[in-house]
Chain A
């Protein structure tokens, strides 16, 4: 599984979610988590249609999007999606 997180430096909700993401990284070492910056990586972010609320986490399995979490999330909310699809 791969998670792509879209966040921005000015976003408080992203700061909060980073703490949960760090824990996910520690506990799910086989999942690849990458980060795109909403402003700096505009070209890569645009096709993902992320909308207006950040952060956005897109979950991919076998290269296909299987789930999307929008807005500030805690560890349990992220893990629930992972468990549903792994």
Chain B
């Protein structure tokens, strides 16, 4: 099997699973219980949270555990808008967000918030001058994805943070889901950031919202204090411990892993662009872990299933949006319906081997010839 769908999810690391097992079996108390078992469980959560905060370079009190990035995104956007609506009702985003950003934005628009989209350039990057033009006294939130999950566009998140420093009434949320662990992140000028563990060999069902101390949020799950006052529910101790472990294992050797993945990406890109009907949708300076291509005239699901028959696993568009075959992100970038309705995503990790890429390219060649000769 050749797994090339790491941006959808990653297989759990055995060490992470062991941490989960140990925490679940040995720390049975509710961390909020006052007896010894509860106190021990609480200490373990506290220690795991310290570790998460230290790795990220933020304060321990700035970590909110959630069920995943979608919940983190919802909590950040709705939480800010509900809490600060008296300051203004203008919010800004981009054309390249995940459905868990557009969902809350749609919801907030229905609630009377005014939504603006910042312009992007030919590579999908935010136009900083247009952002400055859009910002107003009543703008309370800018939400930008660090990396688009389908194409791998990397947004200038730090430059945007610098601009927003001059707008103290406006909060800055970054969806870090595809970037976390792939590059060292500086949270200095970022107010809120979302991610989930299953994108870096952790377990599904646990995520984080980093929220700077000075900021308040209206919870979206009410019910009293958990690990924080912002998200109720019994603290998911084994998942929290496993997230800390996954983060510790993943957040190292940034440059070495990034360079290695870049090399694999280049190998695929150089080969795939030689095919007459292949178009490369990912920009050259995108995140190398993601390579989005279109095979003109071939339906994405046909390509996916042809590769699947040879035990190669890739994605059509992001697994989280729709049952249409047209990629919203590729269409927004290229304005080309043919490309948008024939795009597939190949996503790799530092665990992908060069041998796997060579084998994939051979299998792709067979599938391409077969599919394009059928037409």
- Known contacts A15-B109, A18-B109: does B322 contact A8 (CB below 8 Å)? yes
The residue that B328 contacts in the complex, of A9, A13, A38, A39, with Cβ under 8 A, is: A13
Could you give, for residues 143-185 of chain B, a 1 whenever the CB lies within 8 Å of some chain A CB and a 0 otherwise?
Answer: 0000000000000000000000000000000000000000000
Q: Could you tell me if B115 and A15 are in contact, using CB atoms closer than 8 angstroms?
A: yes
Q: Which parts of B290-341 form the interface with A (CB within 8 Å)?
A: 320-326, 328, 331-332, 337, 341
Q: Is the CB of B332 within 8 A of A12?
A: yes
Q: Are A10 and B323 in contact (CB under 8 A)?
A: no
Residue total for A at the interface (Cβ-Cβ under 8 A): 16
Give the Cβ gap from A75 to chain B, nearest Cβ, in Å. Answer: 14
User: Does A57 touch B at the CB level, under 8 Å?
Assistant: no
Asked if A16 lies at the interface with its beta carbon under 8 angstroms from chain B, I say yes
CA distance A11 to B93 in the complex (A): 13
Q: Does B254 contact A (CB under 8 A)?
A: no
Given contacts A18-B109, A52-B341, contact A12 B117 (CB under 8 A): yes
Q: Are B323 and A12 in contact (CB under 8 A)?
A: no
- Which listed residue, A13, A16, A39, touches B323 by the CB 8 Å rule? A39
Contacting residue for B103 out of A10, A13, A52, CB 8 A = A10
Chain A, interface SS category: loop
A42 to B55, CA, bound (A): 45
Q: Pick the contact of A10 from B321, B325, B331 — CB < 8 Å?
A: B321
Q: Which of A8, A10, A15, A19 has the most CB of B within 10 A?
A: A10
Contact of A15 among B102, B320, B325 (CB under 8 A): B102
A3 within 8 A of B: no
Least Cβ–Cβ distance between B105 and chain A, in angstroms: 6
Interface: B253 (CB within 8 A) = no
User: C-beta contact mask, A26-40 vs B, less than 8 Å → 1, else 0?
Assistant: 000000000000110
Give the residues in chain A near B93, CB-CB below 8 Å: 12
Q: How far is the CB of B338 from chain A (nearest CB, A)?
A: 11
Give complex CA distance A27, B115 in Å: 20
Complex formed: what's the CA distance from A79 to B114 in Å? 21
A19 engages B324 (CB within 8 Å): no
Which B residue's beta carbon lies closest to that of A38?
Answer: B322
Q: Within 8 Å CB of A13, what residues of B?
A: 328, 332
Contacts from A to B (Cβ < 8 Å): 8-16, 18-19, 38-39, 52-54
Q: 23 A-B residue contacts at CB 8 Å?
A: A9-B103, A10-B102, A10-B103, A10-B322, A11-B102, A11-B322, A11-B328, A12-B102, A12-B117, A12-B328, A12-B332, A14-B106, A15-B102, A15-B109, A18-B106, A19-B114, A38-B322, A38-B324, A39-B322, A52-B324, A52-B325, A52-B326, A54-B324
